[in-house]
Amino acid sequence: MSSPWVAIQRNPNSGSGRRKRHLLAFVRALKERGLNPRLFSRRERLDEVLADPARRESLLCLVPAGGDGTVSDVMNRFPGLTICPFPLGTENVLCRYFGIGHDGEKVADMILAGNTRTLDLGVFSAAGSEKETRFVLMGSAGFDAEVIHRLHRSRRGNIGKLTYAKPILGTLTNYPYPMMRVFLDDSETPIEGSLVVVSNLAAYAFRLPITPDAVGDDGRFSVCVFERPGSFQLARYFWQVIRRKHFDRPGVQHATASRVRIESDSPVPMQIDGEAIGETPCEMTLLPAALSIIVPE
């Protein structure tokens, strides 16, 4: 029987690349607590190690050390394993939601305590494809997804928050705001809109409170559809969101659902958990109680 250990999947391209010292302090703190860390930079090597049933059985938790994209990658590759994210990315939306910071001592203590929370997961699938991708935070279609697609096409290595400026300005300049039809659960009557956000947790980039009612373990998505197209309308919606007034305003539809289908006459870019994922048409369903995550007590 293998001794208990912690697997750390490091993403060397996450964030600005200036947080190596945090990771090293975290590894040192795990060793001081007798938790036997093992650091992986190559995904293939972690795959090989966790293919061994004995090693998998003795694993305390799997640590995605990076941003939200690293969390998404790890939980899709190893469904069913308990995770404890360590924030090294640009936004770290999931870690911020749970109050998990860069202090390696505190995160090591969290793992030692083993306080877990069980979350639902979203499942994204493009129309006509059998491939499914899980997400924990949110998925969206429209302007913000176009920004992420542009960022990913131009990305070279590590990024910071200022890296988003160019794709945001470019999208504001020439994004056409195509309309979409959003079908909730079994309804055949769509909600029409130019921006759709489907949330599992009340967490979004830049701390925007788009779906503050999302819970994460209630079996429902919080769905927000911004109906009117155009940059002027987008700015108006942004102002309403930061004031938490958008649910009460004309041109915004809010509902909950366990299944969301999005269609459009022309393809609209999609993103899940801050990663470019494809285009409409697509479907997002909810997988109840599918993720175990270590969180602060």
Domain ranges of the chain: 5-114, 120-288
pLDDT of 268 over the 70 cut: yes
Mean pLDDT, rounded, for 243-265: 96
- Residues 76-95 have pLDDT tens digits of 999 999 999 999 988 899 99
pLDDT of 283 over the 70 cut: yes
What superfamily would CATH give domain 5-114?
Answer: Probable inorganic polyphosphate/atp-NAD kinase; domain 1 (3.40.50.10330)
pLDDT at res. 1: 45
pLDDT at res. 163: 75
- Residues 45-81 have pLDDT tens digits of 999 999 999 999 999 999 999 999 999 999 999 999 9
Mean pLDDT of the chain: 93
pLDDT above 70 covers a percentage of the chain that reads 94
Q: Is the dihedral of CA 243, 248, 249, 252 positive or negative?
A: positive
- The tokens 């308990």 sit on which residue? 82
pLDDT of 161 over the 80 cut: no
pLDDT at res. 152: 79
CA pair distance 16, 270, nearest whole angstrom = 25
pLDDT at res. 130: 87
Q: Return the CATH number of 120-288, one of 1.10.3860.10, 3.30.70.2740, 2.60.200.40, 3.40.50.300.
A: 2.60.200.40
